[in-house]
A and B are shown apart, each in its own frame.
Chain A
Amino acid sequence: MTMEKRTYKRHFVAWAMVALTALGCDDYLDINTDPNNPSVAPLSGLLARTSFETGDNIQNAGLITSYYVQYLASPNAASATDTQEPVAFDQTWFELYDVMTDLSDLELQAEELEAFNYAGIAKILKAVNLGITVDLWGDIPYTEAFFAQTLTPAYDTDHGLYNVIQQLLDDGIQDLESGNFSYEVENDDFIYEGDIDLWIKTAHALKARYLLHLSETGDYDPTAILNQVEGSYTGNADDATVSYFAEQVNPWASVAISNASLILGGWISEQLIEAMDGTTYGVVDPRMSFMFGTTNGGEFIGTENGAGRGDAPEQGARSTLVEGTYYSSRTSPIEVITYAELKFIEAEAALSSDPARAYQSYLDGIEAHMEKLGVDNADIQVYLTDPQVAVGAGSLTRALILKEKYIAMFLHPETWVDARRFDYQYADMTVPANLNPELGGEFIRRLIYPDSETQRNRQNVPDVTLLDRLWWDQ
C-alpha cells in the first residue's frame, strides 16, 4: 500500500466518523416526550372525571353489597357474590384507587394554585371514596399510597382511616369557607355544578354518616351527629347526586338494558319484595313500581337469594331492574348522600335522647324519599298514616328506622354498613340458600382483598376471613 493510499484511507475514515457522530447527535433523538398525553392536567379535567366516576364507584360497590343486603338476588343458583363466597373484587378496588389517585393530584394542584374550592371538593370526594373502600375492606393503603412512594404501600388501619375521613371533611369545609378561589368551579362538577354551599352541607352530612358508623363502638357520640345534621341538608333539592347522560348512561340502567337482552342481572330479591308487598310488615309500600319492574303478569315477585331462578324462564317471571324507574333509567342520578338518609341518621341519633325529634325525622325521611320517587301525595299519606308505619314517637324503634332506611337507600352500599351495625336483624332476613359453607351459617362481614394486592403487595396484605369484623362492627 502506498503512502498516498493510506492517507486517503485515513482521511476517509476520519470524514466518515465525523458524519456518523453528527447523525448520532442527541437533538435528533430527543423526541420521546409523549405527544399524546400531557404531563399536567387542568383542575377542571381532574374534577370532571373524579366527580363523575365517584358515581360509578358508588354503583360498583352497590353491585356487590346489594346481594349481601338482599336488594338483589342472582338469577343463577349459587352465584358467588349472592352466596357470599370469597370473591376478589379487583375492578372495584382499582376504580376506587384510580379516583382517589386523581383526587390526590387535584388536591395538591388546587392548593398550589390557591383554588381552595377545588381543593375542598377534592377532599370531600376523597372522603366519600375512602369511606366506601374502608367499609368494604377494612385496613387499606393510604399514607403510602397514590404517589408511588413505594411499590408495596403499607396498610393503614380502618380505625385510623376513620379519623382521616373526618379530617378530610373538616379540611374540605375549611377550604370551602375560605373563599380563596383563584378559579371557578362550573360544569366540571358533575354533582353540584360548583355550588359551594351545597358542598359544605354535604361535608356535614358525610360527617354525620361516618360518626353514625361508630354506633357500636365506645366512640359513639349522638350529639356530635346531631350537630352535623344542623349544618346540613334541608330538603331533597340539596341531595348530592351524580348526573348521567344519554352518552354515558346510569350504570344501573346498563344492568337493566343488559338483562332485557338476556345478559341476566339486576333481579330483585324476595327479601326486598316481601318487605314492601305486605308479607313481612303488613303494609303495602306504594314505592315498588317506582323502584323495579313487574312480571309479565304485572306482579312483584322476587328471587330467593342463592337459589337462582329455578325453572322460571329468563324473562318475564320475576321482578328486575327495568328502564323507566327512578333508579335504573338512562339518565337516573346516582346518589352520593341524600336528605332522606340524613333524616334517618338524625332519627337514629336522636332516638334515645329526643324520641319526638327521632319520630319526626323518621317520617320526614320516608316522605322525602317518596316525594323524590314521585309517589302520589295521597299514597304517601296513606302509607304515612298506616298503623304499621305511624307507630308514634313512643313506639319508634331502631329496627323500624333501619327498615325504612333500608327501603329509602335502595342499591346504596351504605346499607351494608347499616346491616352490619344492625347484625342483619332485618325482619325475616336469613342467610341465602347455598351459603358459602366457610361462613358457618353467619352473614358476611367484609370482603377479601383483591388478587392484585395478594399478588403484588403480599407482604403488606392483612390475612383476613370473611367473618373478621371491621373495627366499628362490634
Chain B
Amino acid sequence: MSRSTNQYYMKKIFTLLSFVIVCIACHVTYGQGQTVTGKITAEDGNPLPGASVVVKGTTVGTVTDVDGNYTIEMSSGATTLMISFIGYETVEVPVQGRSVIDYQLQPDITQLNEVVVTAFGIEQEKRGLGYAVEEVSSDDITKTKQANLVNALQGQVAGVQITNSGGAPGMSSRIIIRGLTSLDPGADNQPLFVVDGVPIDNSTVESNGTPRGLSNRAADINPNDVESVSILKGAAATALYGVRAANGAVIITTKKGKAGKMVVNIKSSIGFEEVNKYPQFQEGFGQGFSGDYSNDSFWPSWGAPIAAGRIIDPEYVYYDNTKSVMQTGKQYDNYVSISGGSENATFFTSVSNFQQEGVIPFSTWDRTAVKLSGTVNLNEKLDITGSVNYAKSGGDRVPHDRIMETLMYWAFTQDATDYLNPDGTQKTYGNSNPLYTARYWTYEDDVNRIIGNVNVNYKPLEWLNIMYRLGSDYYSDQRTEILPGPLGVENEFPLSSTGFIEQTRINSRDINSTLNLTVSRDITERFSASLRLGHDVFDRDRNTIVARGNEFVIPRFYHLSNVTEQLTSEIIRKQRLVGVYGDLTLNYDDFLYLNITGRNDWSSTLPKENRSFFYPSVSLGFVFDELLNLPDFVSYSKLRASYAEVGKDAQPYSTAITYTSADGFPLNGELGYTRSNTLGSADLKPERTTSIEFGLEANFLQNRLGIDLTWYKSNSKDQIIPVPVSNGTGFTRLITNAGELENKGVELVLSGTPIRNDAFTWNVRLNFTKNKNTVVDIREGIESIVVGSQFGYVGSSVTMTLIEGDPYGNLYGTSYERYYANGKPEDLTILDRDLPLLIGSDGFPVANGDQLILGNAMPDWTAGMTNTFTYKGLSLSLLIDARYGVDQFSQYDNFYSAFGMLDYSTNRNQMVIFDGRLADGSANTQQVWLGQGLGPDYVDYGAGFYRNAYRGISENFVQDASYIKLRNVTLGYDLPASIISSTPFQRVNVSASANNIILSTPWNGYDPESFSAGAGGNATAFTGLGYPGVRSYFFTLNLTL
C-alpha cells in the first residue's frame, strides 16, 4: 500500500470517527447564535474532509464534508473556533465577527501517529518502532533546490553526515550514516538506496587519471518526483534488508497519483551560482623569481613588487586571474507532472529537464527524466502497481584539478582570460592556460538509465497479504575523454605532445526480486500480532570496457582509429545474493511493541561452505505516558531499545589466487602476466556487525515541543579486509577476516512550534549528532592500514592511517619541531601545536620529519537546524548546518605557499624573529629574512623561507575545516485565492532562495566542503585541487492546475 493511499484511508476512517464523536457531542447545544461557514484545506490546497471544527469552550462542533466545507452555529459569547484533523496541527481561530472562515491546516511535525516507511517500503506507525527512523518530506527536499537528492538531505537528519565532494555541476555527494563500518580503505561505507521498494545503484565511478568529479548515481533521480525519504539508521531498522543495508538505508518513496480530479503541476526555476569563498590572494608581487622582474618566467609570483616592475614595463599589472577565469554558473530546472485517476486506477507521470553550467567555464551537467507510474485495483483483493523511470544525464566534466593547478602557475601579471589564438592554438607566455585546458581537455559522460518495478499485491483473506515485487535498474554510462595533441601549427603550445582519446563504456544491471507474505491477526482485544515471511534475490552484472588511443596521427581528428597506440581493458563483476527472512511484530494494547526478525543470506561472493549465514534482531517500543499517569504537559513519551546483528559478505572474487595482465603490456607484441598482489582466502566467512540502540521520544505541551534522543553502539567484527602483508609472501595484501571497528554515538532531535496562531506560525527543528569511530583491532602483527594520502611539496604529503586503538581518520605528516622543557618524549605520536617552536642555529624553525598525528578528519559533532515561518501566504525557511572538529589537508594552501600566492607571503621581504626557543631553552632573538637570495644582512637565503621550509611542513596545511553554513534560505509566497480564483490555477507559488552561504569557517581557502576521492572514497581529508564550492540563488514558479 502506498503512503498516499494509506493516508487516504486514514482520512476516511477519521472522517467517520470524528463525525460520530462530534454528533454525539453536539446534539445538546444545537441551534444558537450566529452561523459561520467555511472551507478547510490541507497544506497542498486540497480540501480536507472530516476535519473537526469545534466552538471553543463548548461541546458544539461539526466535521467538514467531502469538499472540506463546514457550517457551524456559534453559541453566544463564544469567540473562537478550534479546528483539528489527525496528522495536522490543531489551531484556534478567533471569529471576530466573520461569517466565512476558510482555513488551511498545516501538517503537525510532532504528530503522534506519524507513519514512516521502513524496510521493504513497509509503512509503520512510528509509535510502534523500537528503533530510530527519520523521514524527510517532499517539501523539505525540493525546497533545497539541490539537483542531487543526496545533497537535498544535508543538515536535515540526525546521525547522517553528507559531504559534497565539490562545486562542479553533477559532482558526487557522500552520505554516511552513524560512522564508517569498514576498515577496508576501498570499501563503500555508504547506505543502500531503495526507490519504491527496489534497491538501486548509488555508486560513484570516478574517472581514470585526473579527477573529474563524476556523479553518484542517485543523482539520476529527480528530487521533484520524490514524495518522501526515510532514513533507516541502525542495524535493527535495516535488519530485513540484511547484508546490503549494513551501512543503513535511504528509502525513497516517489509520488503517486490520487483518485479524483487530474492534477497538473508545473514548476520552473532558474538559478545562478558563484564561488562562495576564495583564498586571500596577494596582489603585490608579480611574475619572476628572487624578487626580479620577468615576463616569461615559469614562476607566477615570486617576482618584483608589481609597482616597481611597472617602471620597467607598463604592462606589469596585477590580474585577479582566479576570479576572472570563473563565471556565473546557471541552472534551469523545468518540471511538469500530471496525476490523477479513479477508485480503480491511478497514475502519475512527470517530465523534467535540468541544465547546469558551472562556475568553471565549459563545465556542464544536464539531466532529463521521465517517470510513469500507475496502480490498478483489479478487484478488492488484487492490485498491481508499476513504475518506470527513465533518466539521461551527463555533461562535460572539466579537469578541475588541472585547471586549478595551471591557474596556480599562471603569472599574476599576465591575463589568463586571453587564451586563444585565431588558429585555435593556445595563447600563452609559456605556461599552460587554465581556460584553454578547460575548453579542450574534455570528458563527457552520457548516462542512460531505466529503473522499473512491478508490484503485485494480493490479499486473499482479511489477515493475509501476499506481495511480489520485481525491480530492475539498468544503465549504460558512455564516457569520452579527449586530450588534443599538437594542432599542426608552427610554434604552438599544445596541451600535450601526443594527445589521447579514451572511451569508457559501463553497463550495469541490477535485478531485485522480493516475495513477501504477511499474516496479521488480533489475537485478543488488546493483543495483536503480525508475521511477515519473505524471500529476496539480488543479481548484479556490471561490465566496464575502456579503450584508449594514444598519440593522434592527423591533428584535430579525434577518433580511436587515428592513433599510433591502442589499449583496451575489460572488467566484469557479477554478484548474487539470496535471502529469506521473517519478521514477527507483537503489539500489546498499543503501548508495548515487540519486533523480532531473522534473516538468512546466501551470497555468491563467499566460499561455498560459508556462504550461508543467519542473523537476528529484536526491538522493543514502550509508550509509557498513559501507563504512568504523567502530568498533562507530557503529551507522549516512549522508550525504545533494540539489539541487532547483521552479516556482510565479501567483494566478488576475493577467494582465489589469480594472475593479471601486467601494466605496460602488451609491449612489442607480447602480453605480460603477473601474479595478483592480492591473496584471496578460500575460507572467508561473513563479517558481523552487532549493534544496540536505546531511545527516548517525548512530546510536551500538546505536541508543540518534541524531543527524540538516541544512543547507539555498533561493533563490526571479523571484517573482510585486505590486510597488508610482508611482500616476502609473494603478495602485498591478504583478504581475510580481521579487525573490529566501533561506532558509538548520540543523536538528538528537538522540534517545536514556539508560535502558532491563525496568521503566524514558527516551526523549528534541530538535530545534533556526535559519533565516535574507533579502530578497536586490526590483526595480530599488522600495525596500520593506510586509507589514503595526498601529495605535498618536499615531504609534506599527508597520510590518513588507521592504527589500533585510535580513532578513525587520523592524519599524519611532518611538523615543526617543538621545544620540550623536560626533553622530547620517546614515543611521541601526537603533535601538540601549543608547545613553543624549536628554533635552529640559523634562526629558522627546525623541521621534524617524523610522521605525527596532526589532526583527525572525522567531525566531533554535526548539527542542523530548520526554522520555518509562515504568515498567511508567505513562508520563510532557513536551514543551517554545521560540522565541528574536522581537520583536512589543504593541498591548495601547500601549492599556493610554494608559489608565493597568498597574502601571508607578502612578508617575504621582511626581517623577522621567529617566536620560539633555542635548544638550550632560551628565547630566540635572531633576525632572519624571509625573502629569496641575498638578504639585507648579506646572508644568502636561497629560495627563501616559503620554498625552503614552509611548504615542506605538513602541519601548516592540516587545518580546521569546521563550518557553519546557511544551507538554504527560501522565501515563498502563495498567491491569495482572491487573485487565482479568476485563473485556471488552483495554486500559484513563487519563491526565491539562496544556498550554501558560509557563515563561519576557520578554513583558509575555498569552501572546506570538498574532497578529491569522490563519494565512494574514504580518504575524505584531502581537498586536492578541488572544484571550488559555490553559493546559488534561485527563483521558482510553481503552478498547480
Q: Which of B461, B608, B727, B784 contacts A94 (CB 8 A)?
A: B727
B675 within 8 A of A: yes
Contact A30 B653 (CB under 8 A): no
A29 touches B603 (CB 8 A): yes
Q: Which residues 42-75 of A sit at the B interface, judged by CB distance below 8 A?
A: 42, 44-46, 48-49, 52-53
Interface residues of A in 168-223 (CB under 8 A from B): 187-188, 190
Q: A32-B653, A97-B727 are in contact. Are A102 and B674 (CB under 8 A)?
A: yes
Partner pick for A452 among B655, B658, B668, B724, CB 8 A cutoff:
B724
Contact A190 B673, CB 8 Å, known A20-B535, A101-B730, A452-B727: no
Q: In the complex, A183→B515 CA distance in Å?
A: 57
Instruction: Tell whether B672 is near chain A: CB-to-CB under 8 Å.
Output: yes
Give Cα distance in the complex from A218 to B374, angstroms. Answer: 91
Residues B604 and A44 in contact, CB atoms below 8 Å apart? no
> CB distance A455 to B784 under 8 Å?
yes
Residues of A within 8 A of B672 (CB): 45-46, 48-49, 52
B576 close to A (CB within 8 Å): yes
Contacting pair B604 A105 (CB below 8 A) = no
Interface centre among B289, B565, B572, B672 (most CB of A within 10 A): B672
- Our pick among A36, A52, A94, A148 for the contact of B572 (Cβ within 8 Å) is A36
Q: Is the CB of B727 within 8 A of A98?
A: yes
Tell me which of B59-67, B228-236, B484-492, B659-667 binds A: B659-667
| A97–B533 touching, CB < 8 Å | no
Contact: B724 with A29, CB < 8 Å?
no
Name the interface residues of A67-107: CB closer than 8 Å to any CB of B: 76-77, 80, 93-94, 97-98, 101-102, 104-105
Determine the main DSSP class of A at the interface with B: loop
Whether A29 touches B604, Cβ cut-off 8 Å, given contacts A16-B517, A76-B794, A248-B667, is yes
Task: Give a binary string over B214-237; 1 marks a CB under 8 Å from any A CB, 0 the rest.
Answer: 000000000000000000000000
**In the complex, chain B residues 653-694 whose Cβ is within 8 Å of any chain A Cβ:** 653, 655-662, 664-665, 667-677, 679
A461 to B859, CA, bound (A): 38
Is A153 within 8 A of B602, CB to CB?
Answer: no
Q: How far is the CA of A380 from the CA of B734 in the complex (A)?
A: 56
Among A35, A262, A310, the residue within 8 A (CB) of B942 is A310
| Chain A residues whose CB sits within 8 angstroms of the CB of B298 once the complex forms | 262
Q: A34-B658, A36-B570, A141-B726 are in contact. Are A26 and B667 (CB under 8 A)?
A: no
Q: How far is the CB of B456 from chain A (nearest CB, A)?
A: 15
Q: List chain A residues, Cβ under 8 A from B21.
A: none
A141 to B671, CA, bound (A): 29
* Alpha-carbon separation in the docked complex, A38 to B572 (Å): 13
> With A37-B676, A311-B933 known to touch, is A23 a contact of B730 (CB < 8 Å)?
no
Query: B652 an interface residue at 8 Å Cβ cutoff?
Result: yes
Report the nearest B residue to A450, measured CB to CB.
B727
Tell me, in angstroms, the Cα distance from A243 to B677 when the chains sit together.
25
Q: Verify if A237 is at the interface (C-beta below 8 Å from B).
A: no
Cβ of B88 < 8 Å from any Cβ of A? no
Chain A's interface size range is 35 or more
Residues of B within 8 A of A101 (CB): 675, 730-731
Residue A39 lies at the interface, judged by CB distance under 8 Å to chain B: yes
Determine the distance from Cα of A94 to Cα of B728 in the docked complex, in whole angstroms: 8
Contact of A32 among B550, B655, B729, B730 (CB under 8 A): B655
Selected from A19, A105, A145, A243, the residue in CB contact (under 8 A) with B729 is A145
User: Are B728 and A457 closer than 8 Å at their CB atoms?
Assistant: yes
- Is B611 in contact with chain A by the CB < 8 A criterion? yes
Complex CA gap A449/B309 in Å reads 52
Say yes or no: is B95 at the interface (Cβ < 8 Å to chain A).
no
- Contact B673–A49 (Cβ < 8 Å): yes
- Chain A: minimal CB distance from B551 (Å): 9
B656 interface neighbour in A29, A31, A39, Cβ under 8 Å: A39
Which chain A residues lie closer than 8 Å to B734 at the CB level?
Answer: 148, 151
A433 at the interface (CB under 8 A from B): no
Give residues 129-178 of B contacting A (CB, 8 Å): none
* A35 CB contact (under 8 Å) in B574, B655, B669, B781: B574
Query: Which residues of B in the span 530-551 have a Cβ within 8 Å of any Cβ on A?
Result: 533, 535, 537, 550
Residue numbers in A under 8 Å from B578 (CB-CB): 23-24, 28-29
A-B contact count (CB 8 A): 195
Q: Quick check: is B940 within 8 A (CB to CB) of the other chain?
A: yes
A147 contacts B730, C-beta separation under 8 Å: yes
Give complex CA distance A450, B724 in Å.
Answer: 13
Flag A94-137 by CB within 8 Å of B: 1 or 0 each: 10011001101100000000000000000000000000000000
Which residue of A is nearest B521, CB measured?
A1
Set of chain A residues within 8 Å of B726, measured between Cβ atoms? 141, 151-153, 452-453, 456-457
CB-CB under 8 A from B795, the residues of chain A are 80
Asked whether, in the complex, the Cβ of B730 is within 8 Å of the Cβ of A146, the reply is yes
Contact B783 A455 (CB under 8 A): yes
B725 at interface, CB cutoff 8 A: yes
Q: CB-CB < 8 A to A48: which residues of B?
A: 662, 665, 667, 670-673
Q: Is A144 an interface residue (CB 8 A)?
A: yes
A192 to B899, CA, bound (A): 48
B675, A41: Cβ atoms closer than 8 Å: yes
What string of 1s and 0s marks CB contacts (under 8 Å) between A139-166 and chain B? 0110011111011110000000000000
Q: Which residues of A contact B661 (CB under 8 A)?
A: 45
With A29-B602, A32-B655 given, is the CB distance from A245 to B673 under 8 Å?
no
Q: Which residue in chain A gives the minimum CB-CB distance to B603?
A: A29
A3 contact set on B, CB distance < 8 A: none
Q: Which residue of A lies closest to B948 (CB)?
A: A77
**Alpha-carbon gap, A151 to B611, bound state (A):** 25
Whether a CB of chain A sits under 8 angstroms from the CB of B782 is: yes
Q: Does A381 contact B (CB under 8 A)?
A: no
For A11, the chain B residues whose CB sits under 8 A away are none
Q: Does A372 contact B (CB under 8 A)?
A: no
Minimum Cβ distance to chain B for residue A34 (Å) = 4
Smallest distance from the beta carbon of A212 to chain B beta carbons, Å? 28
- Is A463 in contact with chain B by the CB < 8 A criterion? no
Question: Are A26 and B725 in contact, with the CB atoms below 8 A?
Answer: no
Residue on B nearest A37 in the bound complex, by CB:
B658
Q: Assess whether B656 is in contact with A34, with CB atoms less than 8 Å apart.
A: yes
Pick from A76, A94, A152: contact of B732, CB below 8 A.
A94
- Contact B574 A31, beta carbon cutoff 8 Å: yes
Bound state CA distance, A233 and B471, in angstroms?
70
- Known A-B contacts A23-B535, A39-B659, A455-B782; the reply to A31 vs B576 at CB < 8 A is yes
**Residue with the highest number of chain B CB atoms closer than 10 Å, among A29, A30, A98, A153:** A29
Interface residues in B240-299 by Cβ distance below 8 A to A read: 289, 298
Tell me the complex Cα distance, A32–B540, Å. 12
**B730 near A151 (CB under 8 angstroms)?**
no
Asked, given contacts A98-B727, A145-B728, A455-B783, whether A187 binds B670 with beta carbons under 8 Å apart, the answer is yes
Contacts of A44 in B (CB 8 A): 670-671
Chain B residues whose CB sits within 8 angstroms of the CB of A42 once the complex forms: 673
**What residues of chain B lie closer than 8 Å to A152, measured between beta carbons?**
726, 781
A77 nearest CB neighbor, chain B only: B942
Q: Does A33 sit at the interface, judged by CB under 8 A?
A: yes
Contacts of B656 in A (CB 8 A): 33-34, 39
Inter-chain contacts of B659 with A (CB < 8 A):
37-41, 45
Chain A residues within 8 Å of B664, by CB: 52, 247-248
Whether A458 sits at the interface, judged by CB under 8 Å, is yes
- Residues from chain B with a CB closer than 8 A to the CB of A311 are 933, 940, 942
Cβ contact within 8 Å between B667 and A46: no
Which residue from A24, A151, A262 sits with its C-beta under 8 Å from B781?
Answer: A151
Which B residues lie within 8 Å of A141 (CB)? 726, 728
Q: Is B301 an interface residue when CB atoms closer than 8 A count as contact?
A: no
Q: Which residues of B contact A144 (CB under 8 A)?
A: 728
In addition to A24-B580, A49-B665, A248-B664, 16 A-B residue pairs with Cβ atoms within 8 Å of each other are: A28-B576, A31-B576, A32-B652, A38-B673, A39-B656, A42-B673, A46-B673, A97-B730, A98-B674, A145-B729, A145-B730, A148-B679, A148-B725, A190-B670, A452-B724, A456-B783
Instruction: Give me the 5 closest cross-chain CB pairs, A-B, nearest first.
Output: A45-B673, A141-B728, A49-B672, A41-B673, A37-B658
5 sampled A-B residue pairs with Cβ under 8 A = A20-B535, A24-B580, A26-B608, A151-B781, A453-B728
